[in-house]
């Protein structure tokens, strides 16, 4: 079914503009590498200005156009390098790579950072930056990656218990010994990263833990946990929630709407009490770990979230993870964490992105479904939500999953090829109202048309050139306003008509349509389109057009 999406070779399918863009990018990468070698770059930071946030890298806003490798790749250099080959061929700029606690601390206090060096060196070799994922106490709501010596010593590192006293596969968030061990090792990891990367700054951010929470129970039911659960909710949490009433997530606002201002967990949070309790204990644990790491090397840090999908109960998803129900508990419990970041496998990408885009939480998508129609959401992340990064999960499927993997990869490659040269421009236009994303099927019945208001004077009528097909992907792109009469139109699967909105209804007079790309902030034209080609049309592969309209 998917075979027809394949074309004979990747390079033969690339438009000329993209080939030129590749050369220019290579030059750009070289220049960046020279700057990095001279040791002038500063540590990446998440710079916040009111409700705006930018990831600053080498002194400029940086958008992560990345991808995540499979969980076990870091234990095999060949596999890891092949996965990075995929990202490099897409023109991605960043790779997300897991680092395993069990690998770096084989016996207590003895560290082996070879897997970290492998990840960083492989990224450098591929011209990629890297986000490292700390698989510490938590991995998908369990404790699979803690070292063997911890797994074998549950007296010192107790696991959470379920309601019938059953022992779970998750270390208890109340275990001070586990928390201190995790914090100590994470600190050592950050110290090591600083020692190998202070000059080049290949490592951009850290993901602290992976989808923390507890699976198969809504909270820890150990005696110690029961005692805390029956006691009063800590004042620090109540004060935070009360002081941030205007910005609470909708489910939290609903939970608290009839709640007393104080009381035990059940009195304050009602049926959400076990999830809120888990979120509070886990967020504080993670905060301690992140704080210890930042003391050594203060990279931006985020926590990823296994989302609630459909009708489920906490414990089906890792209870206590930063779901929309308890996101505000995390904000109170883990102030050192810069972002709570949704792993979006769920078709309602837009809805989830809306929930995780707040003045106190810029959108970062550490994992998205590696599915052809998710490629479009890169435009959505950067354009609709001013997001700082987008990463499909398991990108090595391109080389390991035969035709299906290759076909999915083509779709991401097509999108990434045009987005990469535009990233500095897009970053500079975020929060200005000059990015106008196009997305097929955003609202019901919008499979054929979208109308976009560009300026006071101009609108864009977008016609999708084919019906939305989940296998092929959906039409998507962006119209970027460079000036009131000057636009970049990028994407695939749609035509655009510029319309005057003042005076009699009519099409705007077009001065020129050019195909090309950007080199830094310089437009590089590859072809001027006129005569039979005088259309703003981006039908079947991603293209960058520049359209000038009469003043």
Return the ∠ at Cα 128 (arms to 126 and 132), rounded to 5°. Answer: 115
Complex with ligand DGJ: residue 127 or 392, whichever CB lies closer: 392
The smaller minimum CB distance to ligand DGJ, of residues 213 and 437, is found at: 213
140 contributes a contact to ligand DGJ by CB under 6 A:
yes
Q: Which residue number, 320 or 383, has a Cβ lying nearer to ligand DGJ? A: 320
Of 220, 343, 397, 481, the one binding ligand DGJ (CB under 6 A) is: 343
- Of the pair 100, 297, the CB lying nearest ligand DGJ is at 100
How many CB atoms lie under 10 A from the CB of residue 511?
Answer: 12
Number of C-beta neighbours around residue 31 at 10 A? 11
At 406, list the tokens: 């290759």
Q: How far is the CB of 195 from ligand DGJ (least distance, A)?
A: 27
For the segment 204-233, give every residue that binds ligand DGJ (CB under 6 A): 210-211
Going 240 to 246 to 248 to 253, the CA torsion angle's sign is positive
Tell the smallest beta-carbon distance from residue 531 to ligand DGJ (Å).
Answer: 49
Q: Rule CB under 6 A: which of 393-412 touch ligand DGJ?
A: 393
CA 262 to chain centre: 36
Nearer to ligand DGJ, 217 or 304 (CB): 304
Q: How many residues bind ligand DGJ (CB under 6 A)?
A: 8
Query: From the CB of 518, what's the least distance to ligand DGJ, in Å?
Result: 34
CA distance 347 to 358: 21
Closest to ligand DGJ by CB, 218 vs 343, is 343
Neighbours of 298 (CB within 10 A): 14
Give the whole-angstrom CA distance, residue 408 versus residue 410.
Answer: 5
Residue 370 beta carbon to ligand DGJ: minimum distance, rounded to whole angstroms: 9
Number of other CB atoms surrounding residue 244 within 10 Å: 14
**Which residue number, 45 or 371, has a Cβ lying nearer to ligand DGJ?**
371
Contact 220/172 with Cβ under 8 angstroms? yes
C-beta of 100: minimal distance to ligand DGJ in Å? 12
- 3-class secondary-structure state, position 308: coil
Nearest residue to ligand DGJ, scored by beta-carbon proximity: 211
346 versus 523: smaller Cβ distance to ligand DGJ? 346
* Residue 508 phi, psi dihedral angles, 5° rounding: -75, 150
Assess 323 for contact with ligand DGJ (CB under 6 A): no
Distance CA 392, CA 76 (A): 21
What would the two tokens of residue 333 be? 């419990």
Burial code (b: 16+ CB inside 10 Å, e: under 16) for 424-442 equals bbbbbbbeeebbbbbbbbb
Q: Does 391 bind ligand DGJ (CB under 6 A)?
A: no
The dihedral over CA atoms of 431, 433, 435, 437, expressed in degrees to the nearest 10, equals 110
Closer to ligand DGJ by Cβ: residue 369 or 517: 369
- Single residue of 15, 20, 25, 71 touching ligand DGJ by CB under 6 A: 71
Q: Which helix (H) or strand (E) holds 131?
A: strand 129-139
Closest approach, Cβ 339 to ligand DGJ, in A, equals: 15
Distance between CA atoms of 168 and 286, rounded to whole angstroms? 19
Binding mask 278-307 for ligand DGJ (x = CB under 6 A): --------------------------x---
Q: Which of 367, 414, 514, 515 binds ligand DGJ (CB under 6 A)?
A: 367
Give the span between the Cα atoms of 73 and 119, in whole angstroms. Answer: 10
Is 304 or 361 the residue whose CB approaches ligand DGJ more closely? 304
- Residue 182 half-sphere exposure, CB side, CA atoms within 13 Å? 30
Q: Which positions touch ligand DGJ (CB under 6 A)? A: 71, 140, 210-211, 304, 343, 367, 393
């Amino acid at each position: 079914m998917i075979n027809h999406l394949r074309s004979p070779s990747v390079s033969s399918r690339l438009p000329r503009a993209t080939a030129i863009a590749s050369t220019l990018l290579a030059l750009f990468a070289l220049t960046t590498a020279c700057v990095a070698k001279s040791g002038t770059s500063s540590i990446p930071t998440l710079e916040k200005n009111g409700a705006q946030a930018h990831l600053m890298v080498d002194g400029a806003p940086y958008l992560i156009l990345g991808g995540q490798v499979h969980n076990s790749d870091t234990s095999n250099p060949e596999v890891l390098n092949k996965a990075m080959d995929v990202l490099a061929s897409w023109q991605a700029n960043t790779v997300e790579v897991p680092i395993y606690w069990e690998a770096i601390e084989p016996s207590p206090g003895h560290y082996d950072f070879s897997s970290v060096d492998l990840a960083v060196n492989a990224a450098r070799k591929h011209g990629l930056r890297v986000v490292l994922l700390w698989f510490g106490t938590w991995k998908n709501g369990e404790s699979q990656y803690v070292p063997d010596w911890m797994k074998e010593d549950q007296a010192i590192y107790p696991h959470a218990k379920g309601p019938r006293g059953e022992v779970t596969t998750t270390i208890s968030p109340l275990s001070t010994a586990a928390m201190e061990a995790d914090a100590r090792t994470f600190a050592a990891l950050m110290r090591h990263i600083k020692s190998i990367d202070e000059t080049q700054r290949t490592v951009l951010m850290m993901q602290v833990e992976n989808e923390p929470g507890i699976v198969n129970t809504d909270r820890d039911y150990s005696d110690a946990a029961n005692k805390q659960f029956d006691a009063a909710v800590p004042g620090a949490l109540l004060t935070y929630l009360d002081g941030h009433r205007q910005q609470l997530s909708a489910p939290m606002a609903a939970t608290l709407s009839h709640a007393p201002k104080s009381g035990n967990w059940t009195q304050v949070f009602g049926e959400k009490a076990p999830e809120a309790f888990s979120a509070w204990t886990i967020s504080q644990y993670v905060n301690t770990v992140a704080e210890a790491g930042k003391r050594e090397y203060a990279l931006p840090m985020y926590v990823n979230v296994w989302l609630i999908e459909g009708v489920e109960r906490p414990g089906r998803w890792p209870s206590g993870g930063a779901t929309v129900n308890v996101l505000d508990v995390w904000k109170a419990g883990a102030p050192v964490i810069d972002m709570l970041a949704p792993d979006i496998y769920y078709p309602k990408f837009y809805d989830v992105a809306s929930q995780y885009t707040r003045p106190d939480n810029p959108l970062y998508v550490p994992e998205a479904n590696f599915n052809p129609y998710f490629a479009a959401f890169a435009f959505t992340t950067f354009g609709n939500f001013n997001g700082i990064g987008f990463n499909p999960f398991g990108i090595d499927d391109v080389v390991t999953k035969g035709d299906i993997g290759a076909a999915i990869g083509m779709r991401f490659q097509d999108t990434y090829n045009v987005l990469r040269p535009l990233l500095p421009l897009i970053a500079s236009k975020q929060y200005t109202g000059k990015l106008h994303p196009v997305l097929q099927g955003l609202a019901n019945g919008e499979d054929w048309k979208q109308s976009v208001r560009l300026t006071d004077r101009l609108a864009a009528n977008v016609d999708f050139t084919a019906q939305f097909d989940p296998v092929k992907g959906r039409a998507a792109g962006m119209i970027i306003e460079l000036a009131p009469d000057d636009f970049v139109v990028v994407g695939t699967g749609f035509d655009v008509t510029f319309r005057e909105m003042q005076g009699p209804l009519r099409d705007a007079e077009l001065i020129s349509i050019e195909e090309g790309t950007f080199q830094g902030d310089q437009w590089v034209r590859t072809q001027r389109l006129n005569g039979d080609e005088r259309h703003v049309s981006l039908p079947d592969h991603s293209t960058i057009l520049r359209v000038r309209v009469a003043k």
